[in-house]
Chain A
Amino acid sequence: MIQARIRKQFPPGPDSAGFSLDLEFQASRGFTVLFGPSGAGKTLTLDSIAGFSRPDEGRILLEDQILFDGAAGVHLPPRLRRCGYVFQNYALFPHMTLRQNLEFAADRIPRLERHRKINEMLEKFHLGEVSGRKPYELSGGQKQRCSIARALIGAPRVLLLDEPTRGLDAPLRADLYSVLRQVREEFGLPVLLVTHDFEECLELGDEMIVMRDGRAVQSGTPRKILEQPANIDVARLLGIFNLLPVEIRSLDPGRNISKLRYDQFDLTGPYFPGRLIGDQVWLCIRPDNLSAVPSNGRPGMNQVPAALLRTVQKPDRVRLEFSNGIAVELEPELVEKYGSVKEWAIEFPQAGLRIL
């Protein structure tokens, strides 16, 4: 269990804007993902926990040990914090073999047990056969696994991973996810993971914290955030929604209906509690929740006409991108059936419309 309240100011410099980190969160066993664009303060948060960066104020508590307390002037050096840190470039010592890298980290384990523990870790992370090699002789995946094994061997109380999938291609990514799931099951410690890839949050995250400009803008399970982004900023950061400016034209709680004006078209949605007629809001909808059919000239109910710009093939869907900026994802068979139609009508489901 880790509890953190971190504040740190960077005053603006001659060639940099100022930045301030102001974050409060707690994470227990399982994966907590810090998600956000670069410059959101994610890595700085990890560095503050690991002790490489000293916050201006706040408090960081790991299990029942105070790692940092601004008011009391406590700032433990990194070596006493027992935080396993997996660096973006792995930071495996290049002059040591894999085994020596692990030995370096297992220094505090009694000699007899150390040997057994190292072999166990090599086995667990499928590194037995390459344990005598130096890092430059290894594949990216092996380096990645070794750096995780090295971070874990000293029995840390929290594992910090800084963008572990950056620069990995799809198969290596999948390998890493399975290694990390194994870590979750076998080591049972809180894991903080930094990423700017939302799919990774869904893949691994038990909890996620959406960060922007040094603040947490939303936290919760990735599924919940996907279903209900707290505001337009979060929806934009997730990067998967169609976001359309609409005006609320009418609200009818009795029939659970609302009318929205988008561009010059009327859309029917569910009743939105707490909103007023005339509100300018954002309609937020995922491409796979929309559908589209070839236009027959007059758009029907809840349809918006649009010209097809391009189609993008996805593993199990085809993404249609339209001239008005809307994207729709359809089954490949459907798209094939319609062939090379240019003019389409985009259909909005009445029930699934969400506004922000």
Chain B
Amino acid sequence: MHIDWFPLWLSLRVAAISTVLAAGIGLWLAWILANRSFRGKEVLDAAVTLPLVLPPTVLGYYLLVLLGRSSPLGKVYEWLFGGPLVFSWQAAVVAALFHSTPLLVKSARAAFESVDRSYERAARSLGASEARLFWRVTLPLARRSILAAAALAFARSLGDFGVTLMIAGNIPGRTQTAAVAIYDAYESGNTSTALILVLIISAVALGILLVANRLTPNPFGPRQAAP
């Protein structure tokens, strides 16, 4: 039996890239949401969460309008990289990004906010800049929860179907990710291929969840009694 492994590799690559990008954007947004107070903060929070609750087709529609070949952003991308964004594998990264970033922002904000405020106050009173506070104090203290969140974001990126289908399409060997390939294989009666991909994806997701769970408790050495 011949199995095309390309969709699986593509999915892993898309998930990895989107997780790295989501971590960058997500940590930054989460830091702002956790530390600043400004007008429209809750609107920003809601907007960041929106992709989690919108139907994938709605999100895909927006992205097609926003990034399509005739849109300004699409034109800029084409001018920069010499090819259209939509219906390329990079579009699958964008699709994954819109599913993983909200998750990361939510978890990272909670992780930042769970760091005892007195550490941040101490750092500030010791003259630390916000950047130093972030890199040397808050991020290391929240590190395990954030790694757990990144693992979940990776798993989430792996599984996107609807948005990917709408903006990256289903081009075998180019934009067909595992989730799309499973649908495709099943529809075309290729059930054994579908089953193998299903099992692999399930195993990877389960493994990631186990890792994330082990990361979540956060003891620095034995748990301390409150002073």
Contact = CB atoms under 8 A, between A and B. Distances in A.
Interface in B97-152: 116, 118-119, 121-129, 132, 136-137, 140-141
A52 B201 CA distance: 49
Contacts of B221: 134, 136-137
Contact of A78 (B124, B132, B226): B124
B119 A77 contact: no
The majority secondary structure among interface residues of chain A is: loop
B123 A87 contact: no
B128 A81 contact: no
Interface residues of A, number: 34
Interface in A74-90: 77-85, 87-90
Interface in A125-158: 134, 136-137, 140, 143, 150-151, 154
Interface residues of B, number: 23
Looking at B121, B122, B123, B125, the one whose CB has the most chain A CB atoms below 10 A away is: B125
A94 interface: yes
A125 to B, nearest CB: 16
Interface stretch (A20-28, A100-108, A185-193): A100-108
B35 to A, nearest CB: 12
A81 B125 contact: yes
Contacts of A50: 121, 125
Interface in A89-115: 89-95, 104-105, 107-108
B140 to A, nearest CB: 5
Contact of A87 (B122, B127, B129, B141): B122
Contacts of A151: 125-126
Interface string A42-54: 0000000011100
Given A95-B140, A136-B220, A89 B127 contact: no
B124 A79 contact: yes
A136 B122 contact: no
A76 B118 CA distance: 19
A107 B125 contact: no
A81 B141 CA distance: 25
A134 B220 contact: yes
B37 interface: no
A77 B124 contact: yes
18 contacts: A51-B124, A85-B121, A85-B122, A87-B121, A88-B118, A89-B227, A91-B116, A91-B122, A93-B122, A93-B123, A93-B141, A94-B119, A95-B140, A95-B220, A136-B221, A136-B224, A137-B221, A154-B126
Given A83-B125, A95-B141, A151-B126, 7 more contacts: A52-B124, A88-B227, A90-B227, A91-B121, A91-B122, A136-B221, A150-B122
